Structure 1
Amino acid sequence: MGDEALALAPGGLLIDGRWRSAEAGGTFDVHDPSTAEVVGQAADGGIPDALAAVEAADRAGPGWAATAPRKRAETLRRAFTLMTERADLLARLIVIENGKALRDAHAEVAYAAEFFRWYAEEAVRAEGSLTTAPGGGNRIMVLHQPVGVCVLVTPWNFPAAMATRKIGPALAAGCSVVLKPASDTPLTALAIGAILADAGVPAGVVNVVPSRRSGPVVSAMLHDRRVRKLSFTGSTEVGRVLLREAADQVVNTSMELGGNAPFLVLDDADLDAAVAGAMVAKMRNGGEACTAANRFYLHRSVADEFSRRLAEAMGRLVVGPGLDPATEVGPLVNEPAVAKVDELVAGAVDQGARVLTGGLRPRGRGWYYPPTVLADVPPSAAILAEEIFGPVAPLVVFDDVDEAVALANDTEYGLVSYVYTRDLARGLRVSEALESGMVGLNRGVVSDPAAPFGGVKQSGLGREGGHDGLLDYLESKYIAVQW
């Protein structure tokens, strides 16, 4: 079954509707995080390949933009159907190169496919407007037109969903794209490219260029005058670099960057619901998610009980290879990811944090780290300031709501926050006070293709998902007219 899943992903680059080798002929290895063994190879695209993809996208763009919205919608709907039909194999492919538990991979494929279905519906809704100027001298006509060639740069943690969340609205809007997937997980992106080709997307409208040389390759595309849009999901550090690169040609940018999500448990919270929500917010995708709860703030009156329950729930999770149906937590994506998590936990313990469960990296092959809960984490611990991206929950106690909000907002990030309370009015007041683009109020998950996803502060620019996601790939044109 592993070989069958790997067969979904052609090994070459997808440029102008053809699968081809990199111009320089190079390839790079793809590893299985559960064993650290090589499981496949992908073509290693270089600058000439990337610019060839831009050329193809530029050539195909006008025809796709002129295609009737209904026809673009039907193509996306076929992509949704094909992705759903291939869901089992796609999920296994994700596990093979990413490591996540199979159940998480199945959830990702279903979520990823929904972006094609949602934007199939949105493709016909790029409405303009017609109003009378306040002075009465003319009409104000506003049209929405596709922004043009888009460079899409996606991360490894959701290799299917992060691709479809960008490709879906871009195609619905009438744009052509070049997808540069993360080098840890290129195979899923190539499989999605194949699905789109099978769905009838014209040659050159979707191009996929894996590369180990991400910086130079993306920079070359951003300095090509034909590129008019960059959509990036990844770290804030890399996002800052790409914003500087995009400034040279004043490229339209959307940035979904790092997070440091606080999870607030107020004194009146339903602890059964709060623990269940915490398990989703923390352990979805094994903690390797920008929306993962990163810091837990517990009111003193419920801290001991919540801590005990969370540690018990985390300690019961089954860790193992992602393809094992019994596995609930798979390996992390690579060795540096494990080393970072281990260093953050060790630093917190050195400063006085108590390990309630986990906390020790296992020996043996594969890139594993156990689900870990840390109590009494000092405010100065690095684990509270950095995105953990692993199965670790640091706990901090507070005494009043204002203190909790201040602690939650004391970060350069502002992607998502979580709040648990039985008092809806109180929860809404706290939600408004939290400096984040999204809030899960008595919910451990916020992601939805129909909702605007994005952050404030240094967590990003723009929104993905919902109608807002379509607008990110459209330019408004004002026409002054009178009759």
Structure 2
Amino acid sequence: MSTPAPQLLVDGRLTPAGDGTTYPILNPATGQEIGQAPDATAGDVDAAIAAARRAFDESAWSTDVALRVRCLRQLHQALLDHADDFRALTTAEVGMPGFMMGAAGFDVPVEGLKWVTDLLESYEFETDLGVAAPMGIKSRRTVRREPVGVVAAITPWNVPTQINLAKVGPALAAGCTVVLKPAPDTPWVACQLGRLVAEHTDIPAGVFNVVTPRSNDVASVLSTDPRIDMVSFTGSTATGRAIMAAAAPTLKKVFLELGGKSAAIALDDSDVAAVAGATAFTACIHAGQGCAITTRLIVPRDRYDEAVQVAASTMESIGAKDPADPGAICGPVISQVQRDRVQAYLELAVTEGGTFATGGHVIDQDGFWVEPTVVAGLDNSSTLAQEEIFGPVLVVIPHDGDDDAVRIANDSPYGLSGSVDSGSLERAKAVAARIRTGTLSVNGGVWFSPDAPFGGYKQSGIGREMGVAGFEEYLETKTLAFPA
């Protein structure tokens, strides 16, 4: 891996932390240190906010669409030119299996940057409402869309390039300036994005900044500083709730993409075994560390034992492998903290009366590993069916018909994703229409794409990422009226 050591990007300059301090970056597959990240100080974060504010208020970035298009195309090309290094870095830092690089790991988010740049070239920022005479005054009205301003983009560790670009791309395209704060478990890929901006684009100084503080206290100013106009956060529901509260006194715009406990429903006329196998496979991807992964399998009661057995056999065939192995589906979890968290849930499964059809333990080897696990014998009121685990753990739950399946799927604080399978497409669509969730796969359809809005209902978040809706999250609406 030939990626340069990570540095902050503040006001157009690649730099170490202000006081020179660093913290280790670990490879989750081995537990070994692979680099040192700059531990950004409060002064570094303040300087990044000031630079972003100044760039928005004083540079041409917010008004010059042609400049934004040119710079974003430069960044897209730089990502393509450095793709191999980016992929290798992601596998090493995140523990993400290589097969994911063709999807959410790298290729889709890079394509998403191109997609939003193409959108920018054709987007109509002004709409003519025509002439009317409100209150007897003949007026021509125009609706204009303008950038929100300075955006704090706060991103998690699980799919960092996807989520970094899903925020940074639309925000920059809209004309906003950005301070990107990645998770301290995965700062390197964010710093590499900053390096590409600094070295391969004409993006003006201060328009894009990257800071990597390890301390939440240092980062918390991103939610409270009045110079920031919007916080765009992806992560846990608990942290999202705290960010929303912190942003309330300054009434910032807040975008939240939060947790999920998505349900895969097999109706009684579906190929239940195929659904069970596919859902078990999905629950293993990247060790289950995806907010939209289906982690509840809801199957007809009279097919329950079959579904459990197929899911268990599928997971056993997948296993947990080195993410550098070309055949790896399930790699490590990100950290010791996350492994301990998953282990606590597995212990709770037994306490609540569940059994393991396969797995159920952490793996005692270097790095942070958990066995792919199928939990049987629990109902939807159990902790494992209600809370997001973020590990390779699938809970299988029986249902007694379509109405019961919908009830179980909706009996969750979350509403991010899910799937429905039936022998009848119309029946599957009818069930899908009743499920309160932001994305749904119906009979195997794939919703994940740069042009498709992604986000959730209920405690899964506020707003949408990707698609036109994701771009427009970073715009304000201004209505102008002129004498006609």
Normalised-by-shorter TM-score class: over 0.9
- Superposed CA deviations along residues 271-307 of structure 1, whole A, max 9, x for unmatched, are 4652454145323322100001121111124333332
Q: What corresponds to 2:112 in structure 1? A: 115
For 2:73, which of 73, 77, 96 is the aligned residue?
77
CA distance in 2, matches of 1:276, 1:135: 63
Equivalent position amino acid for 1:412 in 2: P
CA distance in 1, matches of 2:473, 2:281: 29
CA distance in 1, matches of 2:224, 2:60: 23
| Segments ≥4 residues shifted beyond 4 Å | 133-136
Pairing 1:61-140 to 2, within 5 Å after superposition? 61-62=56-57, 63-107=59-103, 108-124=105-121, 125-132=123-130, 135=133, 137-140=138-141
CA distance in 2, matches of 1:370, 1:12: 35
* TM-score, normalised with respect to structure 1: 0.94
Q: Following TM superposition, by how much is the alpha carbon of 1:135 offset from its aligned partner in structure 2, in angstroms?
A: 4.4
- Superposed CA deviations along residues 146-203 of structure 1, whole A, max 9, x for unmatched, are 1111100000001111100000001110111000000000000011112223132222
Q: Following TM superposition, by how much is the alpha carbon of 1:23 offset from its aligned partner in structure 2, in angstroms?
A: 1.7
CA distance in 2, matches of 1:481, 1:280: 59
CA distance in 1, matches of 2:185, 2:433: 37
CA contact (8 A) 2:132 2:140 kept: no
Equivalent position amino acid for 1:360 in 2: H
Match of 1:65, SS state, is: coil
Q: Kindly tell me: are residues 84 and 130 of structure 1, through their superposed partners in 2, closer, same or farther at Cα, counting changes over 3 Å?
A: same
- Superposed CA deviations along residues 355-389 of structure 1, whole A, max 9, x for unmatched, are 22111222122100111112222344211111011
Q: What corresponds to 2:308 in structure 1? A: 307
Match of 1:454, SS state, is: coil
Q: What corresponds to 1:459 in structure 2? A: 460
Q: What corresponds to 2:236 in structure 1? A: 235
CA distance in 1, matches of 2:172, 2:281: 31
Equivalent position amino acid for 1:129 in 2: T
CA distance in 1, matches of 2:327, 2:441: 29
CA distance in 1, matches of 2:462, 2:283: 24
Q: What corresponds to 1:447 in structure 2? A: 448
Q: What corresponds to 1:367 in structure 2? A: 368
Equivalent position amino acid for 2:377 in 1: D
Equivalent position amino acid for 1:77 in 2: R
CA distance in 2, matches of 1:397, 1:133: 59
Question: What is the RMSD computed on CA atoms of the aligned residues?
Answer: 1.8
Match of 2:363, SS state, is: coil
| Segment drifting more, 314-323 vs 61-70 | 61-70
| Segment drifting more, 205-214 vs 322-331 | 322-331
CA distance in 1, matches of 2:319, 2:259: 28
Equivalent position amino acid for 2:113 in 1: F
Q: What corresponds to 1:199 in structure 2? A: 201
CA contact (8 A) 2:333 2:368 kept: yes
Q: What corresponds to 1:343 in structure 2? A: 344
User: In percent, how many aligned pairs have the same letter?
Assistant: 35
CA distance in 2, matches of 1:319, 1:217: 36
- How many residue pairs are counted as aligned between the two chains? 477
In the alignment, structure 1 residue 45 sits paired with structure 2 residue 43: no
Pairing 1:403-422 to 2, within 5 Å after superposition? 403-422=404-423
CA distance in 2, matches of 1:95, 1:414: 29
CA contact (8 A) 1:274 1:442 kept: no
For 2:51, which of 27, 49, 56 is the aligned residue?
56
Match of 2:441, SS state, is: strand
- Superposed CA deviations along residues 16-67 of structure 1, whole A, max 9, x for unmatched, are 1111122222111111111111111111112211110011111222424345
Q: Following TM superposition, by how much is the alpha carbon of 1:92 offset from its aligned partner in structure 2, in angstroms?
A: 1.2
- Superposed CA deviations along residues 321-362 of structure 1, whole A, max 9, x for unmatched, are 222323322110011211221221222233332322111222
CA contact (8 A) 1:318 1:329 kept: yes
Structure 2 unaligned residues grouped into runs of 5+: none
Match of 2:254, SS state, is: strand
CA contact (8 A) 1:348 1:378 kept: no
CA distance in 1, matches of 2:93, 2:106: 14
Q: Following TM superposition, by how much is the alpha carbon of 1:140 offset from its aligned partner in structure 2, in angstroms?
A: 2.1
CA distance in 2, matches of 1:412, 1:212: 30
CA distance in 1, matches of 2:101, 2:32: 20
CA contact (8 A) 2:62 2:147 kept: no
CA distance in 1, matches of 2:264, 2:126: 40
Match of 1:313, SS state, is: helix
Q: What corresponds to 1:30 in structure 2? A: 25
CA distance in 1, matches of 2:308, 2:396: 8
Equivalent position amino acid for 2:25 in 1: V
Q: What corresponds to 2:435 in structure 1? A: 434
CA distance in 2, matches of 1:222, 1:130: 35
CA contact (8 A) 1:100 1:332 kept: no
In the alignment, structure 1 residue 13 sits paired with structure 2 residue 20: no
Match of 2:291, SS state, is: coil
Q: Kindly tell me: are residues 383 and 48 of structure 1, through their superposed partners in 2, closer, same or farther at Cα, counting changes over 3 Å?
A: same
Q: Following TM superposition, by how much is the alpha carbon of 1:416 offset from its aligned partner in structure 2, in angstroms?
A: 1.1
Structure 1 unaligned residues grouped into runs of 5+: none
CA distance in 1, matches of 2:201, 2:444: 35
- Superposed CA deviations along residues 390-442 of structure 1, whole A, max 9, x for unmatched, are 11111011111111111111111111121111222222221121111111112
| Segment drifting more, 177-186 vs 376-385 | 376-385
Q: Following TM superposition, by how much is the alpha carbon of 1:221 offset from its aligned partner in structure 2, in angstroms?
A: 3.0
Pairing 1:181-330 to 2, within 5 Å after superposition? 181-197=182-198, 198-214=200-216, 216-271=217-272, 273-275=274-276, 277-279=278-280, 281-330=282-331
CA contact (8 A) 2:222 2:231 kept: no
CA contact (8 A) 2:28 2:367 kept: yes
* TM-score, normalised with respect to structure 2: 0.94
CA contact (8 A) 1:419 1:442 kept: yes
Q: Kindly tell me: are residues 380 and 273 of structure 1, through their superposed partners in 2, closer, same or farther at Cα, counting changes over 3 Å?
A: closer
